[in-house]
A and B are shown apart, each in its own frame.
With several copies, the nearest count.
Chain A
Amino acid sequence: MRKLSFASAILEAQEYLLANDPSVFVIGLGVPTNAGVFGTTVGLVKKFGPDRVLDMPASENGMTGMGVGAAIAGMRPIMVHNRVDFAVLAMEPIVNQAAKWFYTYGGQVSCPLTVRLIIGRGWGQGPQHSQSLQAWFAHVPGLKVVMPTTPSDAKQLLIAAVNDPAPVIVLEHRWLYDTVGPVAAQSTGEQLGVSRLMAEGTDVTLVSCSYMTLECLEAARLLATIGVSASVVDLRTVSPLDMTTILGSVEHTRRLVVADTGHTWFGISGEILARVAEAGINLLSRPLRYGLPNAPTPTTASLSDVYYPRAIDIARGISSQVMGANAPLLEDPDLGKPLDWPQRAFTGPY
């Protein structure tokens, strides 16, 4: 199959949607510019015109409310906020209005708004450009929350989100944008709410989402070198949460590790541990959680390097959980490498 970058896959999804549904429009800061939201909207305005591919004022609250209005009137807006942090200004229309519209008005009018939010990380993104608030959205009944990991999912789940009659928040991790993978040319009719087993193992189940799934896959690889066999479940949709896949795997491995791009405390990893506990599965060892510590994001690389958990941290945690004090020491393959940007080719600022 063709290979595309995650960013190009998003672009292609929007192109497909704009071409196939006249009610779709894309709006956000810089959407029709040549930089095009890190390349994800480049060229769309040329193909579909300025009334379907729009810039907007820096008015996140009002513009998201506007999107809610267009959606309840029958359109399918795709609204992009360049960072999750900016969308904190837009919580009111998303949470009080969009999420509750269908229910409150007696199931008469749906609100098919899709909001794309980009999670920043590294290269000085700092405290106000790097938040990952999926736990907030997942806590709100009426919203669906999508976090794609692969380029294929970046495309297919965005199409599913826009076609879904519910309001959907799609969180895209900036560090995935340049990753490359096979992407089907057509829409595969994917549905929201189904997780994917990315690796199958017997000793431990790693549940994760978005960029952290890549770290988990790497952790699984590291663990394999010492004979520990790990399953990796990529959530894909945080809400609704596909507990069937998770429980299926954990029942088998009887060990649970959750890795999240957001803060650990009061985040989505707690919910997953809780659901497994409620299901009454007896784990062989204590569950582990990896995510951001209880601190805002420091800007300097010297601190953000320790702030973000990595594959090696996960692998080491698991090896000592599984093998105890006898666990062989895993070496850090990235030792001494710069850690605050996704690949060496990247040079900021962004």
Chain B
Amino acid sequence: MTNGWPHELAPYFEMLRIRRVEEAIARRYSDQQMRTPVHFCIGQEAPAVGVSMHLTLADQVMSAHRNHAHYLAKGGDLGRMIAELYGRSTGCCKGRGGSQHLIDTSVGFAGAAPILGSTISIATGIAFKLAKFNPGEVVVTYFGDAACEEGVFHESLAFASLHSLPIIYVCENNLYSVHSPMESRQPDRPIAELATGHRVPSFEGDGNDVAEVSMLASTAVNRARNGAGPSFLVFNTYRIVGHVGPEVDLNLGYRTQDELDHWERKDPLVQEMRRLGLPTAAWKELSDQMEDSITLEIESAFRFAIESPYPDAAEVALDVVPS
């Protein structure tokens, strides 16, 4: 992750950029022009950013349905992402994938897919390949707390452990699976313990603190790079908006205003700003600069998307099998 900002400021900038992208999507979502189910990551920017800091372009990342932060932090092309949401032929999947299937192989973002758990095993296969052909390169796969309920999570960790694969399994625990709270789905224990039985070391941390994320990620990535095998990272975090779409869905009654307030106070941007501890005036200038450059980038991405053509009807049956 290199976004042009000095090392110390880069994580903040990247999180801000992701936040603003999501907000821009949210703003225009009701136009009904991006007709693809978007799972916003507002509030969950830190894991993607803190992990990606330790990855090279050659390292591979896989994500699931809530993937925008992972794609952007890994360096995925913003214009092609927005175009994909608009279903245009310039989208990163030529419009065939939508929000849940981003890809940018040029920066090592290997893909994303919304069937819970499936990308965990697929990422494990990429790690199998890297171990043999690209020693020193690593795979990161991101998923939610519910994906850990799929048996394939265990099958993957066990195999990665057996073969010491260079992979980091990153769980963003945001407490919910759609609208279902943890206690209706999982026994009461730290998710990190799930890896114990597979002899995969696990590390748990504050997923709203990008510095803490970075520290744990650094350990895990180094392990993988040096052939010491897989790690399991659990980052506790929270999604501010609803499961899908941009509404803050307090009306659904599965979470409270209090809970939301609590987590808004833990906003990763605010935390990181505090940690940076810059004088107010300097900060104001800096953040204006950041906002301006981000606004420009976002506007240009949306323009690119909206001005792009839709795929031609004939494309519906192209590319079913490679030839």
A/B: CB atoms within 8 Å of each other: yes
Interface residue A107 (Cβ < 8 Å from any Cβ of B):
yes
Q: Given A300-B310, A340-B35, does the pair A66, B156 have CB atoms closer than 8 Å?
A: yes
Interface residue A67 (Cβ < 8 Å from any Cβ of B):
yes
User: Which of the four size classes fits the interface of chain B?
Assistant: 35 or more
Q: Is the CB of A96 within 8 A of B118?
A: yes
Q: Is the CB of A97 within 8 A of B122?
A: yes
Binds B, one of A57-65, A253-261, A316-324: A57-65
Q: Which of A71, A77, A123, A127 has the most CB of B within 10 A?
A: A127
Contacts of B92 in A (CB 8 A): 105-106
Interface residue A347 (Cβ < 8 Å from any Cβ of B):
yes
Q: Is the CB of B113 within 8 A of A128?
A: yes
Q: Is the CB of A103 within 8 A of B36?
A: no
Residue of A nearest to B93 (CB): A106
Could you give, for residues 284-316 of chain B, a 1 whenever the CB lies within 8 Å of some chain A CB and a 0 otherwise?
Answer: 000000000000000000000000001101011
Q: Is the CB of A124 within 8 A of B35?
A: yes
Q: Is the CB of A66 within 8 A of B96?
A: no
Residue of A nearest to B157 (CB): A62
- Measured between alpha carbons, how far is A70 from B62 in the docked complex, in Å? 13
Interface residue B110 (Cβ < 8 Å from any Cβ of A):
yes
Interface residue B170 (Cβ < 8 Å from any Cβ of A):
no
Q: Is the CB of A75 within 8 A of B180?
A: no
Contacts of B60 in A (CB 8 A): 73
Contacts of B30 in A (CB 8 A): 347
Q: Is the CB of B149 within 8 A of A57?
A: yes
Q: Is the CB of A106 within 8 A of B97?
A: yes
Could you give, for residues 71-113 of chain A, a 1 whenever the CB lies within 8 Å of some chain B CB and a 0 otherwise?
Answer: 1111101000000011001001100110001111111111000
Q: Is the CB of A85 within 8 A of B115?
A: yes
Q: Is the CB of B95 within 8 A of A66?
A: no
Interface residue B177 (Cβ < 8 Å from any Cβ of A):
yes
Q: Is the CB of B36 within 8 A of A349?
A: yes
Interface residue B87 (Cβ < 8 Å from any Cβ of A):
yes
Interface residue A287 (Cβ < 8 Å from any Cβ of B):
no
Q: Is the CB of A62 within 8 A of B156?
A: yes
Q: Is the CB of B122 within 8 A of A68?
A: yes
Interface residue B6 (Cβ < 8 Å from any Cβ of A):
no
Interface residue A144 (Cβ < 8 Å from any Cβ of B):
yes
Contacts of A243 in B (CB 8 A): none
Could you give, for residues 307-318 of chain A, a 1 whenever the CB lies within 8 Å of some chain B CB and a 0 otherwise?
Answer: 100000000000
Q: Is the CB of B88 within 8 A of A300?
A: yes
Interface residues of B in 115-139 (CB under 8 A from A): 115-118, 120-130, 132-133
Contacts of A294 in B (CB 8 A): 317, 320
Q: Is the CB of B252 within 8 A of A35?
A: yes
Q: Is the CB of A58 within 8 A of B320?
A: no
Residue of A nearest to B94 (CB): A106
Q: Is the CB of B321 within 8 A of A142?
A: yes
Interface residue A250 (Cβ < 8 Å from any Cβ of B):
no
Q: Is the CB of A349 within 8 A of B87?
A: no
Could you give, for residues 88-120 of chain B, a 1 whenever the CB lies within 8 Å of some chain A CB and a 0 otherwise?
Answer: 100111111111110101000011011111101
Interface residues of A in 142-163 (CB under 8 A from B): 142, 144
Residue of B nearest to A96 (CB): B115
Q: Is the CB of B125 within 8 A of A57?
A: no
Residue of B nearest to A168 (CB): B321
Interface residue A302 (Cβ < 8 Å from any Cβ of B):
yes
Q: Which of B98, B127, B253, B318 has the most CB of A within 10 A?
A: B98
Could you give, for residues 5-39 of chain A, a 1 whenever the CB lies within 8 Å of some chain B CB and a 0 otherwise?
Answer: 00000000000000000000000011011110000
Q: Is the CB of B115 within 8 A of A86?
A: yes
**Minimum C-beta distance from A135 to chain B (A):** 18
Q: Is the CB of B320 within 8 A of A103?
A: yes
Q: Given A298-B316, A303-B316, does the pair A34, B179 have CB atoms closer than 8 Å?
A: yes
- Measured between alpha carbons, how far is A85 from B65 in the docked complex, in Å? 14
Interface residue A194 (Cβ < 8 Å from any Cβ of B):
no
Q: Given A61-B152, A144-B321, A299-B101, does the pair A73, B125 have CB atoms closer than 8 Å?
A: yes
Q: Is the CB of A66 within 8 A of B121?
A: yes
Interface residue B28 (Cβ < 8 Å from any Cβ of A):
no
Interface residue A141 (Cβ < 8 Å from any Cβ of B):
yes
- Measured between alpha carbons, how far is A347 from B62 in the docked complex, in Å? 29
Interface residue A69 (Cβ < 8 Å from any Cβ of B):
yes
Residue of A nearest to B85 (CB): A124
Interface residue A51 (Cβ < 8 Å from any Cβ of B):
yes
Contact of B122 among A29, A75, A93 (CB under 8 A): A93
Could you give, for residues 24-60 of chain B, a 1 whenever the CB lies within 8 Å of some chain A CB and a 0 otherwise?
Answer: 0000001010011110000000000000000000001
Q: Is the CB of B177 within 8 A of A102?
A: no
**Minimum C-beta distance from B147 to chain A (A):** 7
Q: Is the CB of B115 within 8 A of A29?
A: no
Contacts of A62 in B (CB 8 A): 121, 124, 151-152, 154-156, 158-159
**Minimum C-beta distance from B154 to chain A (A):** 8
Residue of A nearest to B80 (CB): A106
Contacts of A85 in B (CB 8 A): 115
Contacts of B94 in A (CB 8 A): 106-107
7 residue pairs, one from A and one from B, having the closest CB atoms:
A69-B125, A65-B121, A62-B155, A300-B87, A299-B98, A124-B36, A300-B95
22 pairs, CB–CB < 8 Å, chain A vs chain B: A57-B185, A61-B155, A62-B154, A62-B158, A63-B159, A64-B121, A69-B127, A70-B128, A71-B125, A72-B111, A73-B130, A93-B122, A97-B113, A102-B321, A103-B96, A104-B93, A104-B96, A105-B92, A126-B100, A296-B320, A298-B315, A349-B37
Taking Cβ atoms with an 8 Å cutoff, the residues of A that contact B are: 29-30, 32-35, 51, 54-75, 77, 85-86, 89, 92-93, 96-97, 101-110, 123-129, 141-142, 144, 165-166, 293-296, 298-303, 305-307, 340-341, 347-350
Taking Cβ atoms with an 8 Å cutoff, the residues of B that contact A are: 30, 32, 35-38, 60, 62, 87-88, 91-101, 103, 105, 110-111, 113-118, 120-130, 132-133, 146-147, 149-152, 154-156, 158-159, 162, 177-180, 184-186, 244-245, 252-254, 310-311, 313, 315-323
Besides A59-B152, A107-B318, A108-B93, 19 other A-B contacts (C-beta < 8 A): A33-B252, A35-B252, A57-B149, A62-B121, A66-B156, A68-B122, A72-B125, A92-B115, A97-B113, A105-B92, A109-B103, A109-B105, A124-B35, A126-B98, A126-B101, A128-B114, A165-B322, A295-B320, A299-B100
